[in-house]
Amino acid sequence: MPSSLSGSAGAATVRAAEECTAPADCPGCTSAPLPVLGRDVRVPLVTGGEVGYAALDYAASAPALQRVWDDIAAYAPYYGSVHRGAGYLSQLSTDLFEQSRETVAGFLGCRPDDELIFTRSTTDSLNLLAAALPAGTRIYVFDTEHHAALLPWQRAEDARVEYLPAPRTPEQAVASLDVALHGAPKGPKLVCVTGASNVTGEIWPVRELAAAAHRHGARIVLDAAQLAPHRPVDVTALDVDWVAFSGHKLYAPFGAGVLAGRADWLRDAEPYLAGGGATRKVARSGDELLVEWNSGTARHEAGSPNVIGAYAIASACKALTEAGFDSLVTRERELLDRLRDGLADLPEVRVLSLFGAGSARVGVLSFVVQGWNSSHLAAALSAEYGIGVRDGLFCAHPLVRTLLDTEPDEPGECGAPDAAPGERSLNAVRVSFGAGTPEEHVDRFLGAVRTLVREGAAWRYRTEGGRCVPVR
């Protein structure tokens, strides 16, 4: 057993990440604050040869931190069942799982009575909360949200959802929520809000929205899927009732997510999934099963827990904390300025923004280019420059349509199915980065966009299955 895990899982410590070496053709590639996997992966170019892959789609899924990978690799031989085994490795794995819960709760600044449930993702976390709402809860949500935060509430029993229109400033968001809640009838109310937009990267006024919610007796859940990888999220300081995020956006891509916050609604709700682990006692009485459900986190964690996923998130939380958000944020701002300044030099490029050019953002930015179909641009960035970005409506269709000013019934599905290369774009390109991004990737991206916009693509593309692909 490695010393890092010896004694008990509680003694698990973090090993130093391996020495980070720069690939030969990219001397600047070690300039990122935290080493991630994949920095030396090379991909073929349609124009011939190959190049180091520039992952600029962190907002979809960030690469694993080297440190997370090392921690998981060190633990993997000791992997065992959680909460259901008498063997040493089961005990160790159970310890590690519960210790991970504490680490993540600490990272999130949870209150002593909060519960932290390991889920599969942000989507899963918000669906879990939706399933736990008291009957008749009124939900208030801006129509700018990611679908994961927009859609689960419709399913809640007796729920009434009020969709608030896209605000144009952070202050307008708070005022609009205030007005909506002011006229709200008595009874349970929940506000769901994003911390940072997955489309514009803009940071929402979470603390102020939480204050508005609480002023009117409502609770608030924070979708921190995009905020947590970039900024400290402290539920106590922000005074939010719940927070949800995904491991795979926080450099921990092992299939786990988190819902953390107030215990009462979760305690009173039916278990999210019915099955082993959620039950204290099951007995048969004639044609019926008499079930005593567990309380606490076990109530909503039926099935064998994902200990690797939970440990990976805990490891990422430790790595981010040790690196220090102050320096990560400073460095991210520098990269963002570089990106925005570079795009501002191209009059054909329009950066999408809800709150205006000066608003605070994380490292996520979407844009359209006059005369370019976004799917075409994204395909050319990949095929000719080895740069991975995303194009589409980013699972936030109402928001992107608002920002692009297109009618809701115009075609605009991801990849703009009917648009040939060069047609007007009904969707956008998103570039996103994080603690593993070297400056070289941002510079290569800017150079590539400049060349594509000024000189056009070097290759021919066609639409296939709704996406632009290189003609081969």
Ligand X SMILES: Cc1ncc(COP(=O)(O)O)c(C=O)c1O
> Which chain residues interact with ligand X by CB under 6 A?
121-123, 146, 148-149, 194, 198, 223, 225-226, 246, 248
Lookup result for tokens 């191209």: 346
Pick 231 or 248: Cβ nearer ligand X: 248
Shortest CB 246 distance to ligand X, Å: 3
Q: Which is nearer to ligand X, 156 or 364 (CB)?
A: 364
68: amino acid identity, one letter:
V
Q: How far is the CB of 118 from ligand X (least distance, A)?
A: 13
Structure tokens at 254: 């092992």
Q: What's the CA gap between 286 and 226, in Å, rounded?
A: 50
Cα–Cα nearest to 401, from 111, 166, 157: 166
Cβ neighbours of residue 289 closer than 8 Å, sequence gap 6 or more: 282, 283
Residue pointed to by tokens 């976390």: 125
Looking at 26, 110, 395, 468, which residue is catalytic? Answer: 395
**192 in active site:** no
- Give the nearer residue to ligand X in terms of CB position, either 12 or 116: 116
Minimum distance from CB of 121 to ligand X (Å)?
A: 3
What is the DSSP track for 22-88? Answer: --TT-GGGG-SSS-BTTTT-EEE-TTSSEEE-EE-BTTT-PPPBHHHHHHHHHHGGG---SSS--SH
Name the strand (E) or helix (H) holding 94: helix 88-107
Task: Find the helix or strand (DSSP H, E) in which 91 lies.
Answer: helix 88-107
Q: Which is closer to ligand X, CB of 123 or CB of 137?
A: 123
Give the residue with the Cβ less far from ligand X, 103 or 121. 121
Q: In this structure, what token pair is assigned to residue 441?
A: 């990737």
Nearer to ligand X, 200 or 315 (CB): 200
Q: What 8-state DSSP symbol labels residue 459?
A: S
CB of 30 to ligand X, least distance (A): 28
- Pick 230 or 467: Cβ nearer ligand X: 230
Contact at 8 Å (CB) between 66 and 40? Answer: no
State which residue, 309 or 438, has the beta carbon closest to ligand X. Answer: 309
Smallest gap from Cβ 225 to ligand X, in A, equals: 4
Minimum gap (Å) between residue 309 Cβ and ligand X: 12
Active site residues: 395
